[in-house]
Amino acid sequence: MKMLINVAETVVADALRGLAAAHPELTVDVENRVIVRRDAPVAGQVGLVSGGGSGHEPLHGGFVGPGMLSAACPGEVFTSPVPDQMVRAAAAVDSGAGVLFIVKNYTGDVLNFDMAAELAEDEGIQVAKVLVNDDVAVTDSLYTAGRRGTGATLFVEKIAGAAAQEGQPLERVEALARQVNENSRSFGVALSACTTPAKGSPTFDLPAGELELGIGIHGEPGRERRAMMTSREIADFSVNAVLEDLNPDSPVLVLVNGMGGTPLLELYGFNAEVQRVLIERGVAVARTLVGNYVTSLDMAGASVTLCQVDEDLLRLWDAPVRTAGLRWGM
């Protein structure tokens, strides 16, 4: 496999150095693996900290900035960051208003963020935690007890980040993050396996002419494997799987997310089919975002995330944001 890297051992450090060079509005601690918005801590604002294994870019480091995360902790590829990173990040962004940890439901992330919360509280930092577990494909998986955290992480980070930017208190920011997670469901499909730099070959076997329905963002098995389907058929299967679980009675945010190896030409075509299914099912769409946001290295495929919103959640979604990976209104 050909990769634009030096050696596998320095992939994350090299990427962080490149991020720092491209985005001087961020403070990037390459050695300790912490990315912080340069103006942190912001007086009177709740600090938002998230993180996880690298390989899902722009999640999470690409979402650090005004209107979204205060800091992010990148681990090695597909490997949880360690508690010391999270404590360092919490200390860097704590203004005295408290810190919210946003955690995807993967066992390593959950354990390490739990430990970090205890350590941070020992240092006098008030910490709240929200678990993202939006994936409807499977209940338990290779890395997870319960549902996996996937595309809804973006919705949680954006809406909670907007609330924090407004100066809302920790209890309210936490409650909004929980509401967004509870209102969100996702389903993903893989057309190819991903390739980690350390392995240098596909992480699982997906024969030519087949696809995996319900894949996780690390290549975890899904519901079933089938012969290749059309974009229309994949949209029917994916959106209906989400709607079987969500049953929205108000408008939804739609995220049509690429897994890293699918071009926008295909993603926009897939979005057309997703929108068709939603219209057929009588689901009103408030906003749509299409692109590569919660990825799995070079995996070809896509996920669909729906989040039911009220006027307040929609207002917070529309609020200005300025990060490397998401920006509008600023």
What is the pLDDT at residue 274?
98
* Other Cβ atoms within 10 Å of 65 Cβ, number: 24
What is the pLDDT at residue 84?
98
User: Cα–Cα distances in Å, from 196 out to 199, 206, 295?
Assistant: 5, 15, 13
% of the chain exceeding 90 in pLDDT: 92
- Closest by CA position to 274, among listed 262, 288, 263, 264: 288
* 8 Å CB contact between 157 and 68: yes
**For the segment 41-99, what is each residue's pLDDT rounded down to a tens digit?**
999 999 999 999 999 999 999 999 999 999 999 999 999 999 999 999 999 999 999 99
What is the pLDDT at residue 142?
65
Mean pLDDT of the 119-138 span: 96
* 8 Å CB contact between 205 and 193: yes
Mean pLDDT of the 17-26 span: 98
Q: Is 56 a catalytic residue?
A: yes
Residue 10 has pLDDT above 90, yes or no: yes
Structure tokens at 178: 């929980």
**For the segment 156-207, what is each residue's pLDDT rounded down to a tens digit?**
999 999 999 999 999 999 999 999 999 999 999 999 999 999 988 888 888 9
* 8 Å CB contact between 296 and 59: no
Active-site choice (120, 218, 234, 270): 218
pTM above 0.85, yes or no: yes
What is the pLDDT at residue 69?
98
Residue 226 has pLDDT above 80, yes or no: yes
Nearest-angstrom CA–CA distance, 304 and 241? 10
Mean pLDDT of the 222-249 span: 96
Nearest-angstrom CA–CA distance, 82 and 12? 14
Residue 118 has pLDDT above 90, yes or no: yes
Active-site choice (56, 148, 158, 185): 56
Residue 141 has pLDDT above 90, yes or no: no
In order of their start, the domains of the chain are: 8-183 (3.40.50.10440), 184-320 (3.30.1180.20)
Residue 225 has pLDDT above 70, yes or no: yes
Structure tokens at 97: 């208003």
% of the chain exceeding 70 in pLDDT: 99
Residue 330 has pLDDT above 90, yes or no: no
Mean pLDDT of the 122-148 span: 89
Give burial (CB, 10 Å; 0-12/13-18/19+) of 280.
exposed
Confidence of residue 145 (pLDDT cuts 50, 70, 90): confident
* Mean pLDDT, rounded, of the chain: 96
Mean pLDDT of the 3-24 span: 97
* 8 Å CB contact between 154 and 287: no
Residue 253 has pLDDT above 90, yes or no: yes
Residue 323 has pLDDT above 70, yes or no: yes
184 Cβ neighbours under 8 A, 6+ residues apart = 134, 151, 152, 155, 156, 246, 305, 306, 307, 308
Confidence of residue 143 (pLDDT cuts 50, 70, 90): low
Residue 275 has pLDDT above 90, yes or no: yes
Structure tokens at 307: 């989040």
**For the segment 293-322, what is each residue's pLDDT rounded down to a tens digit?**
999 999 999 999 999 999 999 999 999 999
What is the pLDDT at residue 227?
97
